[in-house]
Chains A and B, each alone.
Chain A
């Protein structure tokens, strides 16, 4: 089955620690995205990547970092510089042709205390 996996589903960290969220896709998509969603809110774009070894900042990149060393993988690191890291994080991917619809993973809920 093709799709996007995110792990873990729930993640707990202490304040001041960096944490890396995993995102893997087997859809052969070139583009991948990270979004943040706060309770009752919409989606905010953190980072996106259109091709391996290249990525761009989204609207709220401060305090986050990413890498794109493989087409299938786009991990997100939430650093200690992110002031309010507790949120629901969604990874998505899309092809670079057609309508560019995005396909989403199940999300990771990060709680920092």
Chain B
């Protein structure tokens, strides 16, 4: 069946460090892929998406490239800030009934 696997957290980095959060998926067909961010006590916000192989989604300095050959959609940012501290969720679309399949989430902690 379809599934999403994210790297376990928490991930702790110093400010201005390079960020990578790994996400791999298992899916039939050609799903769309998403990254969401959740700040403490809030709902989830769509951070970026990619709808086909080799697409790069980007937003607020974050990027992720849809790699079909490695079934991956890793989230990257060149220089993180304390304000990036949050939980990040990877997800894929489930085309038969509009559902999303969710990863477990990765908590990111940025220290000043």
Contact = CB atoms under 8 A, between A and B. Distances in A.
Interface of A: 4, 6, 31, 33, 40-43, 45, 48, 50, 56, 90, 92, 94, 96, 98-107, 109
Interface in B34-70: 34, 36, 41-46, 49, 51
A90 B44 contact: yes
A105 B43 CA distance: 6
A40 to B, nearest CB: 8
Interface string B89-112: 100011101111011110100000
Nearest to A99: B32
Contacts of B100: 100-102
A56 B97 CA distance: 10
Given A96-B98, A99-B93, A107 B42 contact: yes
Given A45-B99, A50-B97, A100 B43 contact: no
Contact of B43 (A40, A99, A106): A106
A90 B41 CA distance: 11
Given A99-B49, A99-B51, A104-B44, A94 B89 contact: no
